[in-house]
C-alpha cells in the first residue's frame, strides 16, 4: 500500500517571495488509496521547508510519514464513520502524532474521502451545491515595488475588495508608499487592506509602523514581530493601534491547554488558521472553539497546498458562516497542479461542478 505514496514537486509559474526566501518549487507527498471496489481516493501531505515543524529534510520526512501511514492504515476502519474526529480512538491517535500537523491533515482528507458520497465533495454544504460563494483576499507577494504595484492593480481590476500585501522584504518606505497609493484611489469602504509581516519587524519598530498603518485605515497586520515574544506581542495587541492577527505564533502549539494559554496571554484580535500547519482540521476546530470563547475572530488561509489539500480546506471553511475574507487561492501559482473544482470570480471563491471549466 505504501508504494502508492509519491513525491509531487509543485513548480511555481513565477518565483514566490516569502519570508523564508524565494520559492521556485515546493514538495507535497500524494498518497492514493484504492478501495476493494476499485475506487481511488487521493490525499496530500504538504509542507513548506523552513516553516513546517515536522520537516527537516525529504528523507527524514518520508521515513516518518511511512511509519505514520503504516500505523494509521491499520486503524482506518475505526474512523470511516460520521463524526470520527470526536472519537476516542482518533483523538488518542492524533495526540501521538500531534507534532506532525501535515500528517494529520492528509489522513483526515483520506478518511473523509473514503466516506464521501460524492467525492471530491467532503462536506456537503450550500457552497458545494453552488448556492453560496466565499469572500477571499487577493494576495500580493513580496517583490520589487514595481512588481508589487502591478500585482495590486491586477487584484483590484479582477474585483477583489480585500487586498493583502506581504511586507518586510523591501524597504518599508517603498511598501508604505504602495499602501498610500491604494488609499489615494480607494477608501477603506471600497478596498480593505491587510498586511502580513511574517515577523519582519522588531517590537520597537513595529509600534511606529502600526501608527503609520493606522493612518491609512489598514484592516489588520499578521505577525508584526517574530513568534515567541509573548509579552511584546501581548503589549501590541493590548495597544490595538492596528488589529493584530497571529499566524506563525500558532505553529507547534499542539494541546488544548497550551492553545488556551497562548490566546489568553496574548489576546490577539484575530488568528490565522492553516490546517496543514495548525493540527489538521481537528486542531483547527479546537483553535476556533478556543478563539470563540475568548471573543477572538479568525479566518482560514491555505499554505501552498496543491488542489487536493486546497479543495478540502475551502470545503471545511464553507461549514462556517464566513463573513471575513478568507485567504484562499486556487493553486493557479503552479504549472503542474491537479484539477480543481474551485474558481475565483470578483473576489469570491466558487465551487464548480466541472473542473475543466475553471
Which residues carry out catalysis? Answer: 166, 274
Phi, psi at residue 251, to the nearest 5°?
Answer: -70, 130
Q: Which residues contact 12 (CB under 8 A, 6 or more apart)?
A: 23, 24, 25, 26, 333, 334, 335
**What are the grid coordinates assigned to 307, written together?**
488542489
- The CB density around residue 197, as the number of other CB atoms within 10 Å, is 23
Instruction: Tell me the CA distances in angstroms from 308 to 84, 112, 254, one per residue in order.
Output: 21, 13, 24
> Are 342 and 350 a contacting pair, CB within 8 Å?
yes
Specify the DSSP element, H or E, that contains 90.
helix 88-96
Instruction: Tell me the CA distances in angstroms from 318 to 124, 125, 143, 290, 322, one per residue in order.
Output: 9, 7, 32, 19, 7
> Are 336 and 10 a contacting pair, CB within 8 Å?
yes
Amino acid at each position: 500500500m505504501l508504494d502508492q505514496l509519491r513525491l509531487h514537486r509543485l513548480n511555481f509559474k513565477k518565483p514566490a517571495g516569502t519570508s523564508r526566501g524565494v520559492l521556485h518549487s515546493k514538495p507535497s507527498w500524494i498518497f492514493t488509496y484504492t478501495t476493494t471496489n476499485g475506487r481511488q481516493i487521493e490525499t496530500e501531505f504538504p509542507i513548506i521547508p523552513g516553516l513546517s515543524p515536522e520537516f527537516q529534510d525529504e528523507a527524514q520526512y518520508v521515513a516518518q510519514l511511512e511509519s505514520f501511514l503504516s500505523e494509521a492504515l491499520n486503524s482506518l476502519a475505526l474512523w470511516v464513520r460520521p463524526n470520527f474526529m470526536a472519537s476516542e480512538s482518533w483523538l488518542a491517535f492524533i495526540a501521538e502524532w500531534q507534532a506532525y500537523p501535515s500528517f494529520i491533515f492528509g489522513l483526515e482528507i483520506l478518511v473523509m474521502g473514503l466516506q464521501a458520497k460524492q467525492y471530491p465533495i467532503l462536506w456537503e454544504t450550500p457552497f458545494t451545491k453552488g448556492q453560496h460563494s466565499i469572500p477571499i483576499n487577493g494576495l500580493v507577494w513580496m517583490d520589487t515595488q514595481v512588481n508589487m504595484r502591478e500585482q495590486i492593480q491586477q487584484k483590484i481590476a479582477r474585483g477583489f475588495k480585500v487586498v493583502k500585501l506581504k511586507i518586510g522584504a523591501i524597504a518599508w518606505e517603498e511598501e508604505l508608499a504602495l499602501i498610500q497609493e491604494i488609499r489615494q484611489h480607494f477608501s477603506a469602504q471600497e478596498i480593505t487592506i491587510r498586511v502580513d509581516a511574517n515577523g519582519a519587524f522588531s517590537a520597537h519598530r513595529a509600534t511606529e509602523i502600526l501608527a503609520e498603518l493606522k493612518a491609512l485605515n489598514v484592516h489588520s497586520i499578521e505577525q508584526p514581530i517574530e513568534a515567541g515574544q509573548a509579552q511584546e506581542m501581548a503589549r501590541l495587541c493590548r495597544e490595538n493601534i492596528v488589529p493584530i492577527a497571529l499566524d506563525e505564533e500558532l505553529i507547534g502549539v499542539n494541546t488544548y491547554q497550551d492553545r488556551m494559554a497562548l490566546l489568553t496571554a496574548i489576546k490577539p484580535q484575530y488568528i490565522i488558521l492553516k490546517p496543514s500547519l495548525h493540527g489538521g482540521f481537528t486542531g483547527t476546530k479546537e483553535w476556533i472553539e478556543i478563539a470563540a470563547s475568548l471573543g477572538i475572530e479568525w479566518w482560514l488561509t491555505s499554505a501552498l497546498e496543491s488542489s487536493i489539500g486546497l479543495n478540502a480546506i475551502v470545503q471545511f471553511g464553507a461549514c462556517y458562516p464566513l463573513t471575513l475574507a478568507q485567504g484562499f487561492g486556487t493553486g493557479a501559482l503552479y504549472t503542474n497542479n491537479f484539477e480543481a473544482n474551485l474558481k475565483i470570480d470578483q473576489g469570491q471563491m466558487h465551487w464548480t461542478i466541472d473542473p475543466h471549466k475553471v
